[in-house]
């Protein structure tokens, strides 16, 4: 159960995913306000929840409205123009939860004030089906109860984890934030390899998708490690062993993934300034 009042600023893909998760966890629509410039018609949940208040601009908020949490889900390029309008709410004990990619706590603090309670979160795209993972990092002014409510809000779309060192957020971004794209590429390349081996494109794509999604589900439900499950599938001298000799060779999958994650982390640092 989610308790408290929430102001959601921005209701695009991730904002909509959060909203869906909050309703599923029991948050009452009357306890939510949304500021979305595109208007009420752009918020799919509004048609299902008539009591949900959707405003087009921060100026339409009641002057005495002091939410427990403000969730920033706007595009990074709009952050500096949007966020300062909510700075006055810090005086009332509001905690600001930001899921804006690449916007560090120091920049949030510069926009909201040194005494603002901040929590930064990095969710990933499987949050859209409630299967994401969000890593949270608290600012120095965020108290235990404020951190707890932020965790509960992010848990509505999947697993959560905490870090204390914000510098780790670049690696988090490289592994889980960008990670779904790596998995999608794996399915693409596996399907392409099947076609080159003689399968029809339709069958090869079906096999690749079912194999990757099924293996992920098996891993999630198993108490065994990835390495243990891999060894179970791999018979000595068999077909899987022959394939793994290629994938695990020098300059194989391990080196490629290390390079990919390092490149993504480096770019994350560059974007954060």
Q: Residue 249 is part of which domain span? A: 177-272
Rounded to whole angstroms, the maximal C-alpha distance in the chain is 72
Residues 219 and 91 in one domain: no
- Predicted confidence (pLDDT) per residue in 164-206, tens digit: 999 999 999 999 999 999 999 999 999 999 999 999 999 999 9
Residue 163 contacts residue 135 (beta carbons within 8 Å) = yes
pLDDT at 64 over 90: no
Q: How confident is the model at residue 1 (pLDDT cuts 50, 70, 90)?
A: low
Residues 103 and 146 in one domain: yes
Mean pLDDT of the residues in the chain: 95
Please state, for a pLDDT cut of 70, what percent of the chain lies above it: 100
Residues 42 and 153 in one domain: yes
Q: Which of 125, 153, 169 is the last residue of a domain?
A: 169
Residues 243 and 156 in one domain: no
Residues 239 and 218 in one domain: yes
pLDDT at 272 over 80: yes
Residues 125 and 225 in one domain: no
Residues 205 and 259 in one domain: yes
Query: Which parts of the chain fold into alpha helices (H)?
Result: 13-24, 44-48, 79-82, 105-112, 144-155, 169-172, 179-196, 201-221, 226-233, 239-247, 253-272
Ramachandran region, residue 99 (left: φ > 0; alpha: ψ -120 to 50; beta: rest): alpha
C-alpha distance from residue 59 to each of 131, 145, 260 (Å)? 35, 29, 43
Ramachandran region, residue 93 (left: φ > 0; alpha: ψ -120 to 50; beta: rest): left
Give strand pairing partners of 103: none
- Predicted confidence (pLDDT) per residue in 70-127, tens digit: 999 999 999 999 999 999 999 889 999 999 999 999 999 999 999 999 999 999 999 9
Give me Rg for the CA atoms of the chain: 22
Helices (H) and strands (E) in the chain, counts: 11, 8
Give strand pairing partners of 136: 121, 162
Q: Output the domain CATH number for residue 10.
A: 3.40.50.720
Residues 163 and 209 in one domain: no
Residues 107 and 123 in one domain: yes
Q: What global pTM score does this model have?
A: 0.92
3 state SS of 3 = coil
- Calculate ∠ Cα 97-103-105, nearest 5°: 60
Cβ contacts of 35 within 8 Å, gap of 6 or more: 7, 8, 9, 10, 55, 56, 57, 58, 60, 61
The rounded distance, in Å, linking the Cα atoms of 109 and 74 is 16
Tell me which of 50 and 273 has the higher pLDDT: 50
Give me the mean pLDDT over the 199-216 stretch.
98
Residue 203, domain member (yes or no): yes
Residues 152 and 183 in one domain: no
Q: Which of 127, 148, 169 is the last residue of a domain?
A: 169
pLDDT at 271 over 90: no
* Residue 212: CA count within 13 A, CB half-sphere: 16
Residue 1, domain member (yes or no): no
Q: Output the domain CATH number for residue 232.
A: 1.10.3730.10
C-alpha distance from residue 46 to each of 13, 15, 27, 66 (Å)? 15, 13, 14, 22
Please state, for a pLDDT cut of 90, what percent of the chain lies above it: 90
Residue 24, domain member (yes or no): yes
pLDDT at 63 over 90: no
Give residue 115's pLDDT.
93
Residues 72 and 149 in one domain: yes
Quote the tokens at residue 35.
């500021």
Residue 229, domain member (yes or no): yes
The rounded distance, in Å, linking the Cα atoms of 231 and 210 is 20
Residues 40 and 85 in one domain: yes
Give me the mean pLDDT over the 38-65 stretch.
91
- If one counts the domains in the chain, the total is 2
Q: Which of 116, 137, 169 is the last residue of a domain?
A: 169
pLDDT at 3 over 80: no
């Amino acid at each position: 159960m989610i308790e408290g009042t929430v102001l959601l600023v921005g209701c695009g893909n991730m904002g909509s995913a959060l909203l869906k998760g909050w309703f599923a966890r029991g948050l009452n629509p009357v306890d939510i306000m949304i500021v979305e410039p595109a208007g009420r018609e752009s918020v799919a949940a509004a048609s299902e929840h008539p009591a949900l208040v959707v405003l087009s601009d921060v100026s339409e908020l009641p002057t005495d409205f002091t939410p427990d949490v403000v969730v920033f889900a706007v595009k990074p390029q709009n952050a500096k123009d949007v966020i300062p309008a909510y700075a006055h709410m810090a005086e009332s004990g509001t905690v600001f939860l930001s899921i804006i990619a690449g916007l560090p706590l120091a920049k949030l603090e510069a926009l909201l004030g040194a005494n603002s309670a901040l929590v930064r979160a990095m969710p990933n795209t499987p949050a859209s089906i409630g299967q994401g993972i969000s890593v949270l990092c608290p600012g120095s002014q965020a108290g235990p109860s404020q951190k707890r409510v932020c965790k509960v809000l992010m848990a509505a779309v999947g697993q959560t984890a905490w870090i204390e060192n914000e510098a780790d957020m670049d690696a988090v971004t490289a592994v889980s934030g960008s990670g779904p794209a790596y998995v999608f590429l794996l399915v693409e390349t596996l399907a392409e390899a099947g076609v080159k081996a003689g399968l029809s494109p339709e069958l090869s794509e079906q096999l690749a998708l079912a194999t990757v999604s099924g293996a992920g589900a098996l891993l999630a439900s198993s108490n065994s490690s990835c390495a243990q499950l891999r060894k179970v599938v791999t018979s000595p001298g068999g077909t899987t062993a022959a394939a793994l000799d290629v994938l695990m060779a020098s300059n194989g999958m391990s080196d490629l993934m290390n390079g990919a994650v390092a490149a993504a982390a480096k770019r994350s640092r560059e974007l954060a300034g």
